Every structure is written in structure tokens, then in C-alpha cells.
Amino acid sequence: MAKLNINAAIRDVEVEADTPLLWVIREQVGLTGTKYGCGVAQCGACSVHLNDEVARSCAIRVGDVKEIDRIVTIEGLSATSSHPVQKAWAALDVPQCGYCQSGQIMAAAALLRKTPQPTDADIDEVMTNICRCGTYQRVRAAVHLAARDISRT
Amino acid sequence: MTQTIGGAAARLSRRKFMVASAAAGGGLALSFHLPFGADPVAAQGAAVGTEVNAWVVIKPDDSCVIRIARSEMGQGTLTGLAQLVAEELQCDWSKVTTESITAGQNLARQRVWGDMSTGGSRGIRGSQDYVRRGGAVARLMLMQAAANEWGVPVGELAVSDGVITHAASNRSTSYGKVAAAAAKLTAPDPKSIVLKDPKDWKIAGKPMKRLDTADKLNGSKVYAIDVRLPGMLNAAIKDCPVFGGKLKSYDESRITGLPGVRRVVKVKDSAVAVVADTWWRAKTALDALPIVWEEGENAKVSSATIAEHLKDGLTASATNGDRQNGDAPGTIAGAAKKVEAVYSTPFLAHACMEVMNATVRLSADRAEVWVASQNAEASLAALSEASGLPLAKCEVYRHDLGGGFGRRGGLQDYVHQAVAIAKEFPGTPIKLIWSREEDQAHDFYRPISQCRLAGGLDADGNLVGLQVRVSGQSINATLNPGGIVGGKDRRQLQGMWAEPGDAQFGYSVPNLLIEYAMRNTHVPVGPWRGVNTNQNGVYIECFMDELARAAGKDPLAFRRALMTKHPKHLAVLNAAAEKGDWGKPLPAGVHRGIAQFMGYGSYSAAVAEVSVSPQGKVKVHRMVLALDCGHVVNPGQVAAQVEGSVAYGLSATLYGECPVKDGRMTSLNFDSYELLRLAEMPKVETVIVPSHDFWGGVGEPTICVVAPAVLNAIYAATGKPVRSLPLKNVRLV
């Protein structure tokens, strides 16, 4: 039994302590926007925010997450897809197949929270999520676009 | 990407429908009978809209739902097809949405939507004619309905953005108001319609935003792996790691009582699955299950033994297809200068971000699958074959794919597996998900090959003879034996064909011999985005640079001299060279490489700017790609595909390989099967070469020039040709 704070709601889940947070989010909680890609923290498709930091949920034991830890998934990033990152992604038609984009968006949102005006080098360092469709050029442009949006508000 | 189901829709008889599918072993034909007098399937959403024809549903608020038969896997075909229908429909683009038809619906309506197969970069070019006619037919019916209502000749009406006007009487109406009357009219013959000249396009040809972006931004899009059904159980699977091996035994007692576990199921003769309430519990139990495999003789195979097997094909006397003119061997032997090289490329996995999965529910008289498929009709055939139920009792709920790249085409191996498991649980939906490791271990890999090349230059450095021998695995041998005719398998020489139109060799060489020697292995192979143009592009285009250097000529000038009879190839090469600043100064340490090749009916060329560090580390700074794909339906999405093809091509160039040890794959996750990440993505510039006299593909053609352009830039930097991939295994300095 675990109590999780996901998207500002407390969820009680019945699950073994060594279950990866990713699979608890997907299977017990039923939020499927967070994706399975590799299971070994390589690809970032499972990225969520854990206490405002980006985290690869496939590599976090649910037993290591406390009730006070705040988890935000792609579904909780904004109520109406209005986060500057989501708006920039839409403006530049970033997604192709879209499967990795939840993770890309969560990684970008965490980057901009810490570094509102990132350089290309900052983006290179943080945006390590794998996109097999190869949307990287637009991901980079959209992070910069979102940063401009943030700087105006 | 070449599986086909049936023939042209028009040739199908009403009650008999033949399905010849690669899913059924590449040759087995399934025939079945539609229920006599079957009514068309009620249109989805009919309650809130009127189906004017198969392609167009109009709602009372004037919004248009455009039906899509091809699969969307990121390549943008959904938006492009909608643009083509909307262009002829002349509706309001801002009110367009789409819906996907199912394979069962297509079947029940005598394949009114045509071929659902989505591969070979055919999504647009293979359906553009009939979808445009579909839109035009709907427009004419809607206008006729308005004319009938007003009692005026239809020729006096005009239409724009879904609003029909009669200027003489100053009346107007909209599609939403006349749709119900239009649907009752007899449709005009689509063939009688004169389609718009693409020069007059207002919706097609424009960089419209994709129609399928919104739910990819907030987690609400339901991929097949996200499907949840009442009472559903989950399955994890392991197939014998050695291809061709069998399952010998497993000890179920060791996992009995583990949380959530329901049962262990033997799947066919080579795999075992654990079924549990959640997938993580199924996977955990499967990892704990002791399994004994009967690996067989294939366990002796390794990358080294495969390389030896292929090497034999480089000099073998018997071949499996060739083309020639003149006397290449004799000319090269007597040439002023002779250049020789042997190249090689490895097996590659597709590595779709969404691992293989399928959810199946079976009952005594119904089989259903929820699946990401490049060919929903192949999924239907697989479901029918595996379940034993006739096609008419099967249905495929196709989800947009989290990556396809050729992996999710005709075979549908995961559907066969999911059905085998679901048979043990009648009425209960079973979701089978492969682990990433299983996905890497049981792909249908890009075929491994080697290539021996020899070229002869005359005293002036002109190429007078070229001999090319490809030795390697055949996709047709795995997937489509019927494609090998009289022992000849021309598919493996893709991009080196003589005839124009699809994958034509762009050079004229007075003495030319190109041959293929089939050398198959126990590793299954299949189409991998760009297929054989990738390997052949590396061989030809890198060797061209070796020849140019031996001739003391600039690589661009050397190519141009051989391309005068191939103006479209040449125009694209020139466009890449111009935009890519060929011949202009570069920063210190940065070097350029160039390449051109053809596939999927389109012409591609690339210029790469690359530096090699003193430690031998490669950095690709900029790539300019030129593409002539004929008519361009959405230039924004063409650019997106070109950008994506650079990433796919660079992953293969820098990192991609699937080594074989003890008969099995060893690169089982992204820690060893490395893929390109954002920091390594060069600046990509896309040049669309204007050409309006043909329809070419877009999703695949440009990949094949990525690797050779980069390798040629490295050659320029180091003076040493790179003849084997991936680069991570090559010492450059």
C-alpha cells in the first residue's frame, strides 16, 4: 500500500514496493500519458516531475516515493494544454508519432522552470530524451520559443 | 513495406475477397465470403453527421469529417490525405477533422477505401488520385443538392469554403444544410471528374498545421499500448533468444503465488508468456520463471561467421540478379587507374519508441484486436488466421503508431502471439506488451550486407568501368519469396536499377556490372525505413568519392560528369550543392561531403558539414538536403520528414548495429543500441526542388544520402575512406 501525490491528488495504490513508479502511474493510477520506452532510464519517455525536478519514473521504486513528494505527470502539467511548452510545441508542429513527446515536454518544462532563458548548450545538456522520429530540431526551436513566451509574461 | 492485400479494389468481386498477405507466410491466400447482401457498415458518427460518400461526412454545423484509410505513424500522411480530399471538396479547412476507418469496415464495403497498407512511402502517392476524386464527388453531390433545392442548373453555382452560392438569385447555403439531400443522390462517376491542376491548389500544397497534434501534448492520446478494457489481463512474453530455437520447458511452480499472476502460457513452439493482472507483475514473474530453450544449431552463429558467409558472396560465380552494359571487368582490368574497395553494413533494429504490443479479445464468434499497425488489413488477416474465425467475424481497431519504420507491416507477429494467449482466456481481453529487450531481440532487422566495388579510370580521370557486387541477406527470402523470380532478387539492388521512375541509378557508366549474391542467415530481416537504398547508397556514394579522389577531381564535378543523362538526379544534386555552399570556405577543421541517390520515386541529395576531433570524435554541424518528390502536398511536413530522416540516418551512421553472439542479438536496450540524441542533431536545411510532373514518396527517400554525405565529409577530413558502419567501431585518427 502506498499513498502518492499525483497531479495534486492523493492516490492510494495497492502495489509491491519495488514496482517502478512508471508502471504504478500507468496501471494502478491509470494515467497513460507517461510512456514506457526502455525501462532503464535511457530514453526519457517516462519523464515526470518529482518535486519540480524532471525524473525518469521507470527507474524509481514506488516504495521510495513518500506522500509528501509531489508527482506531476503530463496530464497534470496544465489543465488546458496552456503551458508555454505545450503552446510552443503546438505552434511549431513538433510531434510526429508523438509517443516520446510527453517526456520531451516534461523535460522541457522542468528545464525552463530552472533556466527560463536556456542556451543551446543548456538544451543539449538537459534534453536527452530519445525521439526516434527525429523531432530534435523542432524540439530545440520550441524550447527557445517557450522561453520567449515565458519572458514576456 | 511491400506486402499487399488483394489487388485493386475495382477488380474485386463483390462476395469474394482474396487476401494474400505476408502475414500468412508470404504466399498463403485466404479466401472468404462476405455475408450475402451485406449492408454497408453504418458510418461511424452517422448520428451526428451525414455520410455524403465514403470519404466525406458533413455535420449540421458545416464541419467535415474526412475518412482516413492509411496509417499515421508520425509521417503526416493523415494531414496530407485530408488536405487532398478537402482541396477537391472545397470545404472550410478550419472545420476539418478526420476519422480512421477499420479494416472490417473496409472489408464489409468491398474495400471502398482501397489499400490500407502504409509503407514504401506510398501513403500519399498511392492514394492521391482516388482520395481527390472522393472529395470531388462529394463536392458535386453537395452542389447538385443545392441546385435541386433551388431549381437552378448546377452550372450556375459556385462554392468556396463549403458555402454554395447562386449569384443570379443572390442565394447561398452551406454543406451542412444540404448534406442530407446530397447523400440521397446518385454519385457521379469519379473517373469522369477533372481534378484541379495542382497549380490552383489552396489547401493542398500549403504548409497546413498537422491535424493530429493536440492530444500528443497532454497525454490524452491513446496508443495501442495504452488500451484499457474491462476485465483486461496483461501478458509479458519471451521468445527463444536464438532465432529458430524452441521452448523446451519451464518451471511454473517457481512463480506460483507471485502477486497478480494468473497463468503461464506456451505460445506456439518457441515462446512463453506470463499472464497477470498488470503488465509489471507479468513481466516480473516472467523474469523469475526458469526457462529451458532448445537453441539448436543456430546457437553457433555469430557476427564473425555471418561476415565470412557474406564474404563468400563477394566473389562467388553464381549470382541472384544483375544489370550490365559493356564489359566492366575487362575495362577495369585495362584501365589507366584501378580503384577497389569492400564495404559493409550491419543488421539494424527499428527501435520504435512504442514497443510491439497488441490487445486481443476472443469469443466463440468474434475476434478483435487493438493494435498499432501499418497495415490494418494484414492485422485482420493475422487475427483471422490465428483465431480460426472468418475475416467477417474479425475486427481491427487500429491505433496511430508510436513509430513504424517498416516494423509494423505485413507480419503482425505480435498479433499472432496475442491471439495464441487470448485463446486461453475466452472473453477476456489480453494485452500483450513486449519488453524493450524482447523488442530488440525479435525484430525483423535491416539486412546485413557487404559490397565489393571496383572502378576503372582513364588517363583523364573519367570513370570508364564500374563493377559492384552486393552480398547479403534478402528481405524477400524472409517475407516475400514470391518476389524472387527465377532466383533473381532485384529488390536488394534498390537504387541501382536501370529503369526510371522509382529507384534509378543516377550515373551513366559506359561499362557497368552490378550484381547481387544472396547470402541469407538465420536472422529474420525486413524493411527498415529506406530499406535497401540505405546500404546501397553508402556503397555507391562513398565509392564515388574514392574514385573522384583517385581521379584528382572534385567529388561534385566528378559526379556531374556522369549524370548528364539523369537531369532530375542532377538538379537535386546541384540544389544541395548550391544551398550547401559547396566549394565555399569553411571554418577550420570543418569539411564537407556530398551524396545523391534515388528511392521511392523521389530524388535526394545531401551536403554534410563535419569535423573530426583529434581524438577521432565526429561532430556533424550542418546538413542540407535536397528532395524532388514531385507534387508537394504539405511542405512543412516534407521538411519534418527530411529532418527526421537525418536523425534516423545519423543514428545508423554513428551507432547502429545489432551484433550476433551465440545465435542471438546482444544489443538489447538503448544503453548498447545507442540512438541519436538532441545534442548530436545537426542544423538541417531542407530544399524542396520544384517539380510538378510526378508523385514521389517522402517518408523514406532522404535517409539514404545522410550516411554517405557524412562519411564523405569524414573522408575529406582524414583522407581515409570509412568502409564499414557504424562509426563507433571505426578508428578515425
Are B460 and B421 found together in one domain?
no
Task: Give the span between the Cα atoms of B594 and B707, in whole angstroms.
Answer: 10
The nearest alpha carbon in chain B to A19 belongs to B280
Q: Do B436 and A101 touch (CB under 8 A)?
A: no
Prediction ipTM score: 0.99
Given CB atoms, is B217 within the 8 Å cutoff of chain A? yes
In B277-348, which ranges are E strands? 291-294, 322-325, 337-345
Are B191 and B236 found together in one domain?
no
Alpha-carbon distances of B524 from B243, B443, B487, rounded to whole Å: 8, 7, 19
Angstroms from A20 CA to nearest CA on chain B: 8
φ, ψ for residue B309 (rounded to 5)?
-60, -45
Residues of A in contact with B212 (CB under 8 A): 98
Are the CB atoms for A138 and B642 separated by under 8 Å?
Answer: no
Angstroms from B356 CA to nearest CA on chain A: 11
- Give the residue from B399, B433, B467 where a domain finishes: B433
Nearest CA among B421, B372, B374 for reference residue B400:
B372
Q: What residues does CATH 3.10.20.30 cover in chain A?
A: 2-76
- Facing residue for B226 by CB, picked from A19, A32, A139: A32
Angstroms from B168 CA to nearest CA on chain A: 42
Find which of B75, B215, B216, B680 to mutate to test the A interface (most A CBs within 10 Å of its CB). B216
Nearest CA among A133, A31, A75, A149 for reference residue B215:
A75
Task: Give the span between the Cα atoms of B114 and B106, in whole angstroms.
Answer: 8
Task: Give the span between the Cα atoms of B314 and B312, in whole angstroms.
Answer: 5
- Facing residue for B219 by CB, picked from A16, A33, A96: A33
Nearest CA among B271, B205, B258 for reference residue B632:
B205
Q: What residues does CATH 1.10.150.120 cover in chain A?
A: 84-152
| pLDDT band for position A2 (cuts 50, 70, 90) | confident
| Position B291 in a domain | yes
| Position B486 in a domain | yes
Are B190 and B230 found together in one domain?
no
Residue B314 in grid coordinates? 563477394
Task: Give the span between the Cα atoms of B316 and B321, in whole angstroms.
Answer: 13
Q: Do A39 and B433 touch (CB under 8 A)?
A: no
Angstroms from B166 CA to nearest CA on chain A: 38
- Facing residue for B209 by CB, picked from A86, A93, A100: A93
The residue type at B264? V
| pLDDT means over runs of 10, chain B (733 residues) | 32 32 31 32 56 98 98 98 98 98 97 97 97 98 98 98 98 98 97 96 98 98 98 98 98 96 98 98 98 98 98 97 96 98 98 98 98 98 98 98 97 97 98 98 98 98 98 97 95 97 98 98 98 98 98 98 98 98 97 98 98 97 98 98 98 98 98 98 96 96 98 98 98 95
Residue B409 in grid coordinates? 507491416
| Position B554 in a domain | yes
Given CB atoms, is B8 within the 8 Å cutoff of chain A? no
The nearest alpha carbon in chain B to A77 belongs to B218
Given CB atoms, is B403 within the 8 Å cutoff of chain A? yes
Rg (CA), chain A: 15
Residues of B in contact with A1 (CB under 8 A): none
The residue type at B261? V
Are B590 and B649 found together in one domain?
yes
Q: Do A127 and B352 touch (CB under 8 A)?
A: no
Given CB atoms, is B636 within the 8 Å cutoff of chain A? yes
| Position B3 in a domain | no
Handedness of CA B116, B118, B122, B123 (dihedral sign): positive
Q: Do A132 and B217 touch (CB under 8 A)?
A: no
- Facing residue for B216 by CB, picked from A19, A32, A98: A98
Are the CB atoms for B57 and B67 separated by under 8 Å?
Answer: yes
Are B512 and B409 found together in one domain?
no
Beta pairing, strands A70-72 & A2-6: parallel
Q: Do B681 and A137 touch (CB under 8 A)?
A: yes
**Cross-strand pairs, B67:** B99
Q: What is the per-residue pLDDT for B9?
A: 32
Are B267 and B188 found together in one domain?
no
Q: Do A95 and B671 touch (CB under 8 A)?
A: no
Are B329 and B370 found together in one domain?
no
| Position B217 in a domain | no
Residue B342 in grid coordinates? 569492400
Given CB atoms, is B222 within the 8 Å cutoff of chain A? yes
Are B321 and B363 found together in one domain?
no
Q: Do A38 and B670 touch (CB under 8 A)?
A: yes
- Number of H helices and E strands in chain A, helices first, is 5, 5
In B251-336, which ranges are E strands? 261-267, 271-276, 291-294, 322-325
Given CB atoms, is B635 within the 8 Å cutoff of chain A? no
Q: Do A129 and B644 touch (CB under 8 A)?
A: no
Q: Where are the alpha helices (DSSP H) in B552-677?
A: 555-561, 567-579, 635-654
Residues of B in contact with A38 (CB under 8 A): 436, 669-670
Rg (CA), chain B: 27
Residues of A in contact with B623 (CB under 8 A): none
SS3 A101: helix
Angstroms from A91 CA to nearest CA on chain B: 8
Q: What is the per-residue pLDDT for B36?
A: 29
Q: What is the per-residue pLDDT for B7?
A: 32
Are B292 and B309 found together in one domain?
no
Q: Do B354 and A78 touch (CB under 8 A)?
A: no
Are B606 and B712 found together in one domain?
yes
Task: Give the span between the Cα atoms of B307 and B523, in whole angstroms.
Answer: 13
**b vs e for B219-255, b when ≥16 Cβ sit within 10 Å of the residue's Cβ?**
bebebbbbbeeeebbbbbbbbbbbbbbebeebeeeeb
Alpha-carbon distances of A79 from A71, B128, B150, B243, rounded to whole Å: 15, 38, 48, 48
Please write down the HEC assignment for all residues of B174-224: EHHHHHHHHHCCCCCCHHHCCCCCHHHCCCCCCCCCCCCCHHHCCCCCCCH
Q: How many domains does chain B have?
A: 3
- Give the residue from B398, B413, B433 where a domain finishes: B433
SS3 B35: coil
For chain A, report the end-to-end CA distance as a whole number of angstroms.
42
Residues of A in contact with B259 (CB under 8 A): 16
Angstroms from A19 CA to nearest CA on chain B: 7
φ, ψ for residue B362 (rounded to 5)?
-120, 140
Q: What is the per-residue pLDDT for B690?
A: 83
What DSSP line would sit under B438-461, residue for residue? HHHHT--BBPPEEEEEEEEE-TTS
Which residues 347-366 in chain B show a CB within 8 A of chain A? 351-355
DSSP 8-state class, residue B43: P
The residue type at B183? A
Q: What is the per-residue pLDDT for A153?
A: 75
Are the CB atoms for B270 and B231 separated by under 8 Å?
Answer: no
Architecture of domain A84-152: Orthogonal Bundle (1.10)
Q: What is the per-residue pLDDT for B28?
A: 29
Residues of A in contact with B644 (CB under 8 A): 96, 133-135
Are B319 and B182 found together in one domain?
no
Given CB atoms, is B566 within the 8 Å cutoff of chain A? no
Nearest CA among B402, B427, B397 for reference residue B415:
B397
Architecture of domain A2-76: Roll (3.10)
Which residues 177-206 in chain B show a CB within 8 A of chain A? none
Kindly report the CATH number assigned to the domain that includes residue B489.
Answer: 3.30.365.10
- Give the residue from B401, B433, B465 where a domain finishes: B433
Are B152 and B235 found together in one domain?
no
Domain carrying residue B647:
303-348+445-729
- The position carrying cell 583522407 is B719
Residue B244 in grid coordinates? 529458430
